[in-house]
Amino acid sequence: MINEHYVDMLKERSVIRAISERAAARRAEVGEQHVFDFSIGNPSVPTTHDFTEAMIDLYETESPIALHGYSPSTGLPVFTQAVADSLNRRFGMDYEPSHIYPTSGATAALAHAFRAVTKPGDEMITFAPYFPEYRPYSEAAGLTLTVLPCDPKDFQIDFAALEQAMNPNVQAILINTPNNPSGAVYSAATLQRLADLMRAKQEEYGHAIFLISDEPYREITFDGAEQPYPSKFYDNTLSCYSFSKSLSLPGERIGYVAVNPKAEQADIFGPMFTQISRCTGHNCPGASIQRAVARVIDETADLAVYGKNMELLYDTLIELGFEVVRPGGTFYMFPKALEDDANAFCEKAMHYDLFMVPSDSFGMPGYVRMSFCLDTSKVEAAIPALRRFVTEVYGR
């Protein structure tokens, strides 16, 4: 018989998807150029020329049997070595290739990380605002996801709330920095304080507490800042990554989990991950994409457009009187709505063909997420619409 559990899940519609579908319908109605769609986080820049060349070269010169043969379930050594070397060089880590487990994007990386360091019934903590998919992902692993508030002035961690929420059933803390949807970049001070607190609680409870760090936006930072590497601050860290954003390859599904070599039983993780893959039906990313990404491991697509869009949108929102924290990275901005009900705000904005996502499903009502992975000309074109909307509806 049909498994009703998955049918029931269909009732919880994704708000992001619903709004993006309304934007698409509106585009079909009035034309692309009249619709300002800030709903979806889909990279808007092309991947690098070198990546394309690497793939063509592999297909033109490698033996097809070697190129398309099974990858070991722990990944192709050429890929895990390239990732380990790159992280070691960039962040002063000491990863061996065996600490890198290739996954089909960050979603699969999280699925492995969650299962490796928790068991059903455990508690995991994360911080609002958070990526709404964390909820089904953690429920599927049998976890209780506790969402704690952040400090709304900068979206860093509210440590008083964390201190109070900690208890021996907490086996993992999940962070996402640079953060979707707030654009916040956790500072070294935040990461240091988090690590200190987690170490103290490990000591107090007598068991490891893992930091699961979701970092798909690691390379998209603004104003010359860089994302401090969370694993550098805390040994029991699993870093989850995807090349979707940095290399603009969202459809190619390639990422990894990196296990800090100083983590408790660090060397058991690779073998454990293969067992988790068996249980979930996961498979390594495709063999040829592993090889191509390995060749361009330190490259990124030209991400400068996101910074430019951020400036433009941020300045506009400030000028229009929004409360908004200047994003440190990602391609999202998270202004406060101009009325308490962000859903009502977003509905009204749609009359001006402005599509934004109300923040309720991000665990922090009253805000809106604006994705600015768009051509800059599109952001520029949206400004008059934003201005009209705010003036006509809110008298600003």
204-223 residues in contact with a copy of itself (CB under 8 A) are 207-208
Q: How far is the CB of 187 from a copy of itself (least distance, A)?
A: 29
User: Partners of 145 in the beta sheet?
Assistant: 124
Task: Determine if 119 is a binding residue for a copy of itself (CB under 8 A).
Answer: yes
103 belongs to the binding site for a copy of itself (CB under 8 A): yes
Q: Distance (Å, rounded) from C-alpha 208 to C-alpha 246?
A: 31
CA 206 to chain centre: 31
Q: What is the DSSP letter of 178?
A: S
First to last CA, the chain: 57
Q: Which residue in the set 39, 80, 248, 309 belongs to the binding site for a copy of itself (CB under 8 A)?
A: 248
Residue 251 beta carbon to a copy of itself: minimum distance, rounded to whole angstroms: 3
Nearer to a copy of itself (CB atom), residue 306 or residue 352: 306
Q: Tell me how far CA of residue 272 lies from CA of 73, 103, 253, 255, 392, in angstroms.
A: 11, 14, 21, 17, 58
Residue in 288, 300, 359, 371 binding a copy of itself, rule: CB under 8 A: 288
Whether omega before 271 lies within 30 degrees of 0, making that bond cis, reads no
For β-strands 156-157 and 150-151, DSSP reports them as: antiparallel
Beta-strand relationship, 123-127 and 150-151: unpaired
Q: Is 295 one of the binding residues for a copy of itself (CB under 8 A)? A: no
Q: Is 377 in the site for a copy of itself (CB under 8 A)?
A: no
Shortest distance, position 83 Cβ to a copy of itself, whole Å: 18
When binding is defined by CB under 8 A, the residue of 19, 26, 38, 71 that contacts a copy of itself is: 71
How far apart, in whole angstroms, are the C-alpha atoms of residue 213 and residue 215? 6
Distance in Å, CB of 234 to a copy of itself, minimum:
16
Mask for 314-353, x = binds a copy of itself (CB under 8 A):
----------------------------------------
DSSP type of residue 232: G
- Subset of residues 148 to 207 that bind a copy of itself, contact rule: CB under 8 A: 171, 207
Q: Which CB, 69 or 321, lies closer to a copy of itself?
A: 69
Sign, Cα dihedral of 366, 212, 110, 12: negative
Nearest to 112 by CA among 277, 226, 228, 266: 277
Question: With CB under 8 A, what is the number of residues at the site for a copy of itself?
Answer: 76
69 contributes a contact to a copy of itself by CB under 8 A? yes
C-beta of 335: minimal distance to a copy of itself in Å? 25
Taking each helix axis from N to C end, the angle separating 304-319 and 376-394, rounded to the nearest 10 degrees, works out to 20
From 50-58, 157-165, 189-197, 223-231, give the range in contact with a copy of itself by CB under 8 A: 50-58
User: Which of 18, 42, 35 is closest to 354 using CA atoms?
Assistant: 35
Residue of 258, 253, 254 lying closest to 239 (CA atoms): 258
Which region among 53-61, 150-158, 159-167, 212-220 touches a copy of itself (by CB under 8 A)?
A: 53-61
CB of 218 to a copy of itself, least distance (A): 19
The minimum distance between CB 160 and a copy of itself, in angstroms, equals: 26
